[in-house]
Every structure is written in C-alpha cells, then in structure tokens.
Structure 1
Amino acid sequence: MIATTVQDSANQPLSGLFDVQSLPGPGVGAVRQAWEYWSSPERFLQRCAQLGDRFTLKMPGHGTWVCLTNPADIKRVFLADSGVLQFSEVLRRLTPDEVALGPVVHLEGPSHIRWRRMTLPSMQGQRLSVYEPSMVAATERMLQRWPWGESVSLTSSMQALALEVMLEIVFGLADVKRREQVRQHAMAISAELGSKRFLLALVLGIARGGRWTVGFSRLRSLVTAMDLPMREELQERRLQGQTDRPDVLSMLLRATDSQEIGMSDDEILNTLRTLLLAGQEATALQLCWTAERMVRHADVLRRLDDTISVGDDSYLDAVIKESMRVRPAVPITARYVVQPLELDGLTVPAGMFVVPFIFHVHRRPDIYPEPLRFRPERFLERDADPYAWIPLGGGARRCLGGPFALFEMRVILRTILQHARFRLTTAPDEKIVHRQIGLAPQLGAVVTLDHRG
C-alpha cells in the first residue's frame, strides 16, 4: 500500500541543511553532469538517487539547480505565487517550446489564468465522454492493421494513434484535406523533434542559456507550414459562425473571459499547436511505458483481463498511475526563482532554479514501500497524494491536458484489451533513454499482441 506517511511527509520539517552551497551534489562538474544526463539518463538518475531530500545540480549556462524530493518542499513550490516562482522562464531557458508552440506557453500571472480558464472546459469533466467514441474508433482502426503475433515496437503506432485522436477531437469532421495536411506536418515535426540533429541543437541551446537560434530553422519551417491549414480552418469557421461542433476548436471559438472577450486567432492557433504537438507526444510516451511495464508482470495482465471483461476500469486506472510513478515520461519539473524562496530552513536565492524531482519523489520508500516494484494495487488502496505523485506537475502550472491524457490512455488501453491480449515477456526491462525532453523506452516498448479468443 501507499504508506500513511504521504501526508505526514508533506508536513514534516527538514533540518540540518540551511545553505544552498552546503547541499550535496553529484560530485562531478557541470559539463559532466549535462553530458551524463543527456547520454545516459538512467545512470544519471541513479547517481542523483543517493543525494537525499535536497541536492544541487549544475548545468552549463544555467548555474545552480536546487532539486527537491520531499513533498513538503514540493508543496511550497507548487503553491508559490508567480511573483516568487515562474514556470515560463524555465521554458524559455530549457526548451524551444516557443519555436514549436508559440508564446501562449510563456504566459504568467493573470494572463495565464485567463488562458487556462478559457481552455480547460474543453479538456476535462463531462466533456471527456463526448470524445470517447472518437478515441475508440481510432484505436480499432489501428488494430485492424496490427501485425498479430509479431513482436513490434509500440512507439510509432502510439504516436500515430495519439495524433489521430487529437486531430479528430480538435477538428472533428472538418475539411478532410486540411486535416490530412495538418497530420502530415505534425508527423514531420514529431520526426524532427526525435532526430539526433534536434537533440544536438537542443543541448547546445540549453548550454547557451536558452538561445534557440542555431539548428531550429527546419522546425520553424514545419511549424509555419502546419499553421496554414489550421488558420484557414479557424478563420472559415469564425466567418461562417460554425462554432457549434463538438470539438476543441469550436469550444475555443466560443470561449470568453470575465470581460466577455474571446481568444484571438493567434491565441487559438497557439493552443491548438500545444495540444497537437506537446499533448500527443507525452501521451504516446506514457502509453509505451505502461505497455512496457504490463508485459513483464503476469499478475497485472491477468487482473486486467478479469476486470476489463466485466467493465471495471478501476484497476486499469491504477496500472496507468503506477506506470506514471515508476516510469514518468518527464523526470523533473522546475520553477525559476524571481524572489528568494523560503523553504523550511533553507532560502533559495533569486536567479536559481528549484526542481521538484518527479523521478525520485516517486521512488521514496517512506511513501511508496518497495518503490521499484510495479504494484498498481497501491493506487486502489489510497488516493495519489498531489505532492508525492506529480507526473503532471502541480499547482497553477499543472498540465492543462492532464485529465484528458489520463482519460485517453484509459480508453485506448481498454479498447486494445477488449480486442487483444498482451503476450507476457521475459525480456529484460527496457533502458531509459531520452526522446526530445522526455524519457522513453530504449527499444520503443516491444510487445506482442494476440487476438482475444
């Protein structure tokens, strides 16, 4: 079970470490840390696991990172005001998100709250059930083409499926030609983001303090090309008053803020880009990790088979949450310190990063007994603590599409399990490698599917 210390640890004071400079670190220089993080993330994460509740990392071009694995510290970070901690500055310095997604991801304070309130209704609550038939249909179409009985990597299939789902839900029954154009451009962008060329440009951009000027011309061209059919669709619907369709674009066209002002075309376009690119990539990665874990545990496969057959999704939800615990698609989240941050017994100066270390808080034995064991039952025995289970981040910057992603993974996996059985494997665990800024199975999650008899 999840230990009862989850809530306790979120309130326990820390002691004995009062100065950032006194915090432990990996014992190697900034360049070596960066090299190991990108070239061998699994070894790097294992090294950091020995450093305790608070430790520091140093990355070229970014000074000191104060890394946190205690829920008490993480709670303070997630609840801090944007005048003290900012997420947008992290994105500017550590990711080329503005190149791919646009300025909407860098909003802070009231402007971010406004955008979030206008976008959220399309991504959560009862709205999700409207999307389920499209998710089921897309998954069944994928299975019709499946090479039954063959060992295959899931990565490309899950990326294509997640993109198909997003296109259907974002655009609905919109112009087929435009939707196909968006699909082709989005696939090209995904391929670019997964290329060695992009990884090198990303590492160099980070080392240069977030200057995304070298190596991103192809990405910019692809994004511009994808924008054209999306903008055409958006403007046509606005002009013709077609805002009553059951898709995200129509909801964004109808959305207004507290002053009854709607989103501009550019705001909507940036939002659509964020959903299509960032949303589908993270979901595809997590689906791969969930399958990679499932096929190595006979008891999990048996219980899934039993529960799915009687229409019970509770165990499947627990399997998804447990996979996000032991193999989060993103290992960290971060905030940039604008004003000194007071933690218990520690002041983090302005100009540093504070980094809730998702990967390691998920492996705390005082919160998750036998933390390396894949045991979904722990999420049936106790609800996930919002400061100890954080694969979607937290606070005002919690992943906007989190509820949608969890729902989508449930529907996709349930549909697969209703038509197929995952074959148990004795293969070693797949190593953790980088894909873009996320963590992926080295072999792409190799699985074998058999027809459900």
Structure 2
Amino acid sequence: MKLPNGPQTPQLVQILQWILNPMTYMEDCARRYGDIFTLQLTSPMVFVSNPQALQQILTRDTKEFEAPGEPLFLPTLGEHSVITVSGEVHRRQRQLLMPPFHGDRMRAYAQVINKVTEEIISQWQIGKPFCVRSAMQAITMRIIMQAVFGLYDSPRAQALEDILKIMLDRGGSSPLRALMLYFPALQRDLGSLTPWGTFLRRREQAYKLLYEEIQERREQADSSRTDILSLLIAARDEAGQPMTDAELSDELMTLLVAGHETTATALTWALYWIHKLPAVREKLLQELDSLGDRPDSNSVLKLPYLNAVCYETLRIYPVAMLTFARVVKQPLSLCGYELEPGTQVMGSIYLTHQREDLYPEPKQFKPERFLERQFSPYEFLPFGGGAKRCIGDAFAQFEMKLVLATILSRLELALVDNSDVQPRRRGLVTGPNRPIQMVVKDRHQVQSRTLETISG
C-alpha cells in the first residue's frame, strides 16, 4: 500500500521530533510535501490540512471512516470516557453528556462564571506580578468544579482540585510524560518515586474521591439539583439505562481535565494578545463600554469584536493541534492518493489554521479577519469536527467571553515582559513556551458595571 509522501528518517527520530516540537515539524512537512503527508509514529499516520479533504473525513464518519477511541488518553481518562470509546458506546455516552452543555442549562452557569472570576481576580494585588496561566487555571478549575459538583468548597472537592492540579502541572509539560503515552512499554509501575508510579497513585486518589462523591449523591438523590453530576446520575439512555459508576467516574474525570485545562490555556493566550497589541485592547474596551452600566451576559456574548478576538485566539495557536484520528473503512481517494482500509488519517487543525490561502499573514494576530468573512467548519475547527467534535465547545466559548469581559471591565493589566511567546507541546495539547507574567496597574470603579447574569 502506497501512502502519501513523508520524511524518510527513522521512525524513532520522527517520534522524537513529533514529541519535542510538533508544530515546527508539521510546518516543515507541509512546506515539503503539501496538504497531505505521512509520519511514521507508533504506526503510519496520514496528516491532512486541506479543507475539502477535512470535509470529506469529518462528514463521513460512519460511511468511509471509523472514529475509534483515543488510546493515548486511556491512562488519564479511563476506558469509559467519551474520548476513549467508539461506535455505539460513544454515541450513547455523547447523548447522555450533551444536555448540560447546551441551551438554557449551559446559560444557567453564567452566574457561576462571573462569581468565580470576580472572587479570583479580587485576590490579585496592584503592582504584584502573577502567572497568567496559573491564574486562569484557578478560575477555570473552580468554574468546572462548581458546574460539575455544585459546591466547590467542600473538603472532597478541594482535595480533588489539588490532586488534579498536581497531575496536570507536573505531568503535562514533561516530554518524558508524552514519550510514555506514545510508548505503552514505558508505562511500568516501578514504585511511588518513579514518574509513572507517581502518576498512577495520584490518579487512584482522584478516582477514589470521584467514587465517594458518586456514591454519596446516589444515596442522597435530590431532583432539584442542577449540577452536571446530578444531571448525569439522573440521565437515561434510549434503553432506559443509567450510567454505571465506572462510566460516571471516567466522564467526570474527562470533564474536569478537559473542561478546565484547555479553556485556561485559551484564556492565557487571549490575555497575552490583548495586552501585547494595544489597538486590540482599546477596541475591545470600547466595545465593552458600549454596553452601558449594567450589561447582561447575553449582551456580552453577542459582542462581535470580543467574539473575533476569541476566534483569532483559537485560530493562531489552537490548544488541540489535531482532530481525533479516523480509520479508512473502504478504498477511497483523498487529495489524489488512493487509501486502503486500515489507513489512519488525522486532520491537522494547526496547519489548517496557518494556511496562507485562508488566513493571509497567518502568524499575525488579526481579529478583524473574523469580521470580514465567515469560515467554514473545515477551515476553522478549533474544537475538531464530525462525530468526535468536542461536546464542551459552546460552554468553552461562553466561559471564555464572560471571563475576559469581567477581567477587562474590572482591571487595568499589563504584561511584565512584552517579548514574543511561542506555542509548545504540553502533554497531548499545546500551551505557551514560557510563563506569561502580568501585573495589575489599576482597579476600575466598576460597581455599576457588574455583569448581570441570565436567569434560567
């Protein structure tokens, strides 16, 4: 079977390049081989960045392509996560998970988002630098904890939050951790002082807390509760069956990990760009001021320039570099290549967002491009697409806009270091290549500008 062209270097060299510097490696391959190329990773993987080809892949998940579970996420999220399952099991889990993240249920979390953001930023001191990513993680973790459990200040919730922070901070930025995910043979428990052994013990602690919470909720059922855990316990599939404890715990882990880390990274990039480019900040502040003294959250969500800033943030350095993998089911043609069944194909979100033909001067941060034209779901796809599109995409954008609006309305911030920041791998996603420090220069007298929330 002839696969699309790609580097001829040894497989181990390709894997190391992919782990250590994936964005640069993909860009080098795109310059050399074009819209489609093959990398020899743990198995041959075809990368695609052509929008028409992406449309073919993402709209034919059940006909020409299978959407398997993602084994790289198994160690962290478990075998029942919506990310690691496939087929009918995936469809069932997805249907059970979707309701809390859309429509009125999602908008009911506006009050939580605003309240948590105000609580966290009130602790920042004028003139004292802080790490933006750590601050955004504190905000998004507390928001998702509140959304999932209803009470984030319980001892169990606090313990779970502490463990997850350590798991993500110490494991996410390590190339060794990424190497272990790609090579299951390295996933050996050699004791609590070894990297994998430490990870397993922390994961065990986290799951113990999740099981305790699930058990307590089942024993003290309360139909009036609207937190995500209560909704998931009450949810039933088409056969009238509820989620098992194992399914619930894996889905909760998925929501807690994916639901805060990715949004925190996107918010970090947004604050960096807004304050690196004074014209962007000024235009955004003018738009926020145009809402008057007491804007409600619904008005904030409709602001066109705020929306454009969020979109451009998600475009230039997308947190997820790739779509989830697909496997060819029947012989087909893709970008002029004939692919056989069993071929693994992956859309490169990063390369698609860097295409000159779609986004002139792609390395420049230009929110205006999203005001000037509308991009298709295969040209702009920060949340993936098809059957595996992120279920929390609407919630993430909702949260991002409200957090930014609250911060910008309350504080005058400045970057401590205005030098350029580049993206780099953090575990299976991306993030800034160095800590971004900011400082509070002033607090606005904004009592009258408090964001009102949407009821119901």
Question: What residue is the counterpart of 2:176 in the other structure?
Answer: 200
Aligned Cα root-mean-square deviation (Å): 2.4
C-alpha contact (below 8 Å) 1:158/1:284 kept by paired residues = yes
Q: 1:445 aligns with which of 423, 432, 436?
A: 436
Q: Which moves more between the two structures, 119-128 or 229-238?
A: 229-238
TM-score (norm 1): 0.87
Q: Does 1:187 align with 2:165?
A: yes
Relative distance call for 1:304 and 1:385 in structure 2 (3 A) is: same
Q: What secondary structure, in the 3-state scheme, does the structure 2 residue paired with 1:80 have?
A: coil
CA shift, 1:338, in A, is 5.0
After superposition, residues 40-119 of structure 1 pair within 5 angstroms as 40-50=21-31, 51-59=33-41, 61-62=42-43, 64-82=44-62, 84-89=64-69, 91-92=70-71, 95-104=72-81, 105-119=83-97
Q: C-alpha separation between the residues in 1 aligned to 2:315 and 2:15?
A: 24
The secondary structure found in structure 1 opposite 2:367 is coil
Of 250, 254, 257, 2:234 maps to 254
Displacement, 1:424? 6.2
Instruction: Work out whether 1:332 is the aligned partner of 2:317.
Output: no
- Pick closer, same or farther for the CA change 1:250–1:416 going to 2, 3 Å: same
TM-fit CA distance, 1:26? 4.0
Q: SS in structure 2 opposite 1:103?
A: coil
The one-letter code matched in structure 2 to 1:395 is G
Asked if structure 2 preserves the Cα contact closer than 8 Å seen for 1:130 and 1:246, the reply is: no
Classify the secondary structure of the residue corresponding to 1:106. Answer: coil
Query: Which AA in structure 2 matches 1:368?
Result: Y
Distance 2:149 2:359 in 1: 41
| Partner amino acid, structure 1, of 2:323 | T
Question: Could you tell me which amino acid in structure 2 is paired with residue 445 of structure 1?
Answer: I
Residues 152 and 44 (structure 1), Cα distance of their counterparts in 2 relative to 1, 3 Å cut: farther
**Could you tell me which amino acid in structure 1 is paired with residue 178 of structure 2?**
L
Provide the rounded CA distance (Å) in 2 between the counterparts of 1:102 and 1:186.
Answer: 18
Query: Counterpart of 1:34?
Result: 15
**Distance (whole Å) between structure 2 residues aligned to residue 233 and residue 68 of structure 1:** 42
Please name the residue that 1:309 is paired with.
Answer: 289
CA-CA distance at 1:336 after TM superposition: 4.0
8 Å Cα contact 1:134-1:168 kept in structure 2: yes
Paired letter, 1:262? P
Is the Cα contact below 8 Å between 2:116 and 2:143 reproduced in 1? yes
Distance 1:442 1:175, change over 3 A: closer
User: Is residue 224 of structure 2 the alignment partner of residue 234 of structure 1?
Assistant: no
Mapping of residues 33-432 of structure 1, within 5 Å: 33-50=14-31, 51-59=33-41, 61-62=42-43, 64-82=44-62, 84-89=64-69, 91-92=70-71, 95-104=72-81, 105-173=83-151, 176-194=154-172, 196=174, 199-207=175-183, 212-213=187-188, 215-311=195-291, 312=300, 313-340=303-330, 342-344=332-334, 345-423=336-414, 427-432=418-423
Give the C-alpha shift of residue 202 in structure 1. 3.0
Counterpart of 1:8 in structure 2 is none
Deviation (angstroms), 1:289 = 1.6
Q: Share of identical aligned residues, percent?
A: 29
| Secondary structure, counterpart of 1:203 in structure 2 | helix
Deviation string 1:398-439 (CA, Å, 9 cap, x unpaired) is 011111111111111111011013326773321222211111
Segments of 5+ residues of structure 1 without an aligned counterpart are 1-18
- C-alpha distance in 1, partners of 2:152/2:133? 27
SS in 1 for 2:56: helix
Whether the aligned pair in 2 keeps the contact of 1:301 and 1:422 (CA below 8 Å) is: no
- Where structure 2 has 5 or more consecutive residues not aligned to the other structure, the ranges are 190-194, 292-299, 445-456
Q: Secondary structure at the match of 1:440?
A: strand
**Which stretch of the first structure deviates more once superposed, 365-374 or 118-127?**
365-374
| Secondary structure class of the residue paired with 1:224 | helix
Letter in 1 for 2:383: L
**Deviation at residue 32 of structure 1 after TM alignment:** 2.5
The residue type equivalent to 1:126 in the other structure is: D
CA distance in 1, matches of 2:436, 2:246: 37
Q: How many residues align?
A: 426
Distance 1:99 1:84, change over 3 A: farther
CA separation in 2, counterparts of 1:254 and 1:300?
45
The one-letter code sitting in structure 1 at the alignment partner of 2:389 is R
Cα displacement string for residues 202-240 of structure 1 (whole angstroms, at most 9, x for unaligned residues): 3144145x8744653322221221222322222222222
Contact 1:418 1:452 in 2 (8 A): no
**In 1, are the aligned partners of 2:19 and 2:178 still within 8 Å (CA)?**
no
CA contact (8 A) 1:291 1:447 kept: no
1:148, 1:211 → 2: CA distance?
46
